[in-house]
Structures are given as C-alpha cells and as structure tokens.
Amino acid sequence: MARIIPPTRFPDSVAVSYSRSINKLISELGKITLSVYDEQITPQIKLQKSRDDNSLYKLDAPLDVIQRAVDVIKGLSLGIFNSSVVQETASKFVNSLNLFNKNNISNQGKVKGIDPTVSEPWLESFMKTSISENASYITNIKDGYLANIESIIYQGVKNGSSAKKVRDQLVERVGMSRKRAEFIAVDQTGSILGQMTAKRHKQMGVSKFKWLTSNDEKVRKTHRDLSNKVFSYADPPSVGLPGEDYRCRCVAIPVFDEE
Ligand SMILES: [Zn+2]
C-alpha cells in the first residue's frame, strides 16, 4: 500500500518571527527618532512659530540646529542597524527556513526511501546569496526611513507646520516601515522556500509538482487558477514557481512519476 506523502508546508511561524525581528529594529529607530525630535527639534519649531509675527525672522529658521538633530538620528541608526545585527537577523531567518524545508522535504522523500538532503552542493552558495540579499532589504528599510523622515522634518519646518503635525507624520512613517518589513518577511519566505523545494524535489528525481494555494481569501485569482494543476519544473507557469511571486504563499507538492 502506498504511504501518503506529507504535503509541502509554508512556514508561517518563520515569516512571523523574521518580521518581528526586523520590527524590533524599526521600533528602536522610531523611538530614538521621536526622542531626538522631542528634545531638539520641537523647541526649534516652537521658537520659529513664535517668531512668525515678525516676517524678518521668519527666514531665520534654526536649520543648523535641526540639521544637527537629523544627523544625530542618522548616527544612532547606524548603531541599531549595525551590519552584524542585520547580518545575524537575515542569517537566522534563512537558517530557520532551511531547517524547516529540509525536514519537510526529507519526510516526503522517506516515503519513497530517498533522502534528497544527504548531499547538497548548491546549498552553501544559495544560503549565502539569500542572506546577503535579505541583509540589503533590511538596510534599505532603514535608508528609506531616514530619507523620508528627513524630508518630513524639513518640509514641516518650511511649511510652518505645527510640531505636533510633524510628529504625527513621523509616527506614521514608522508604521510604513513596519508594513514593509512584513511584506519582505512573507515575500522572502515564499521565494526562498519555493527555490529550496524545487532543488530538493529535483534532487530526489521529482520533475513535476502540483500547485497548492494556502486556500484562504488572500490568494489571488491568478494563483487560484493554478491550484491543483500539475507543472513540470522544467517548464513552470509564467508567474514562476509556487512562492516566487510577490507575497505568494503557495507551495509545490511533489508528483512522483508512477502517480
Ligand atoms: Zn500564490
């Protein structure tokens, strides 16, 4: 009697924990931004607004003080997003993903008496590339954030916005970075998982896969249309392998030749 092959699984917990790790860094950055803003920039904006009655002083905005405060935030951001922390966050993520997938696909292979993870010459460089790509994504979140908060602060001062209004915009900008982190976590989990699964399936002689969606309301129509259809790894659908599309949580179920 044929034993049942365990399904390929999408590691939601790995994605959630990656997103949390990045968000921890973002929270710290947001906290120091607001503290420097409250202590050094708010008094300058208030001072400028109190001078608004006198147009002679209006152009005399304390930009040098504000510039120094922005530089302080940038300097502190380098400590929070320092390269070893970023590298470690990316590396922990990719390693967890690998362990999860390795275990999952080994269990599929066991049913057929094959272990596709015994020799994996591709793995080392694949992991290295994935880690360094993810380290860049994390660093880009910080860089995008800093560029944006700098412009929020300068625009606010230039337009004579209240200190409260500028502060609200800064808080909102932290939320944007959090959303970005969540996107990257799910997107990268799918992409890396899809590629690892394909390599391990091919290693155990599986040349075809069945597309399986996460079967919830978030699945896009184009992927729902692929659901339960069989494709060849040599000729996948135009959206790529399961998991490779933006934020895709679909997986590839191995199809063994005799089935
Ligand atoms: Zn999908």
pLDDT in tens, 129-145: 999 999 999 999 999 99
CA of 219 to the centre of ligand 1 (A): 6
| Centre of ligand 1 from the C-alpha of residue 42, in Å | 46
**Number of domains, the chain:** 1
pLDDT tens, 166-211?
999 999 999 999 999 999 999 999 999 999 999 999 999 999 999 9
Q: Tell me the HSE value of 150 on the side-chain side, using a 13 A CA sphere.
A: 14
- The set of residues, in sequence order, having a beta carbon less than 8 Å from that of 138 and lying 6+ positions away, is 22, 25, 81, 86, 89, 90, 184
CA of 144 to the centre of ligand 1 (A): 27
Exposed / middle / buried, residue 172 (Cβ in 10 Å: 0-12, 13-18, 19+) = exposed
Question: How far is residue 10's CA from residue 235's CA, in Å, rounded to a whole number?
Answer: 22
Task: Note whether residue 256 is domain-resident.
Answer: no
Write out 219-243 in H/E/C secondary structure: CCHHHHCCCCCEEECCECCCCCCCC
Under 8 Å between Cβ of 57 and 51? yes
Q: How many whole angstroms from 132 Cα to the centroid of ligand 1?
A: 24
Tell me if 251 is assigned to some domain: no
CA of 11 to the centre of ligand 1 (A): 14
Contact predicate 252/195, CB 8 Å: no
72 within domain boundaries = yes
Residue 72's domain spans which residues?
A: 12-205
Please indicate, yes or no, if residue 244 is contained in any of the structural domains.
no
* 133 CA to centre of ligand 1 in angstroms: 21
> Is 60 part of any domain?
yes
Q: How remote is the CA of residue 67 from the centroid of ligand 1, in Å? A: 45
Helix axes 83-111, 163-203, angle to 10 degrees: 30
**Ion ligand 1, residue ranges at CB < 5 A:** 223, 248, 250
In a domain, 148, yes or no: yes
Please give the Cα distance from 249 to 194 (Å, whole number): 9
Exposed, middle or buried: residue 51 (CB in 10 Å: 0-12, 13-18, 19+)?
Answer: middle
234 within domain boundaries: no
User: For residue 211, how far is its CA from the centre of ligand 1 (angstroms)?
Assistant: 9
- Per-residue pLDDT of the chain in tens (259 residues, 90 and over written 9): 567 899 999 999 999 999 999 999 999 999 999 999 999 999 988 887 777 655 555 545 578 889 999 999 999 999 999 999 999 999 999 999 999 999 999 999 999 999 999 999 999 999 999 999 999 999 999 999 999 999 999 999 889 899 999 999 999 999 999 999 999 999 999 999 999 999 999 999 999 999 999 989 899 999 999 999 999 999 999 999 999 999 999 999 999 987 5
Ligand 1 mean position to 245 CA, how many Å? 7
Q: Cα(210) to centroid of ligand 1, in Å?
A: 13
**In-domain check, residue 239:** no
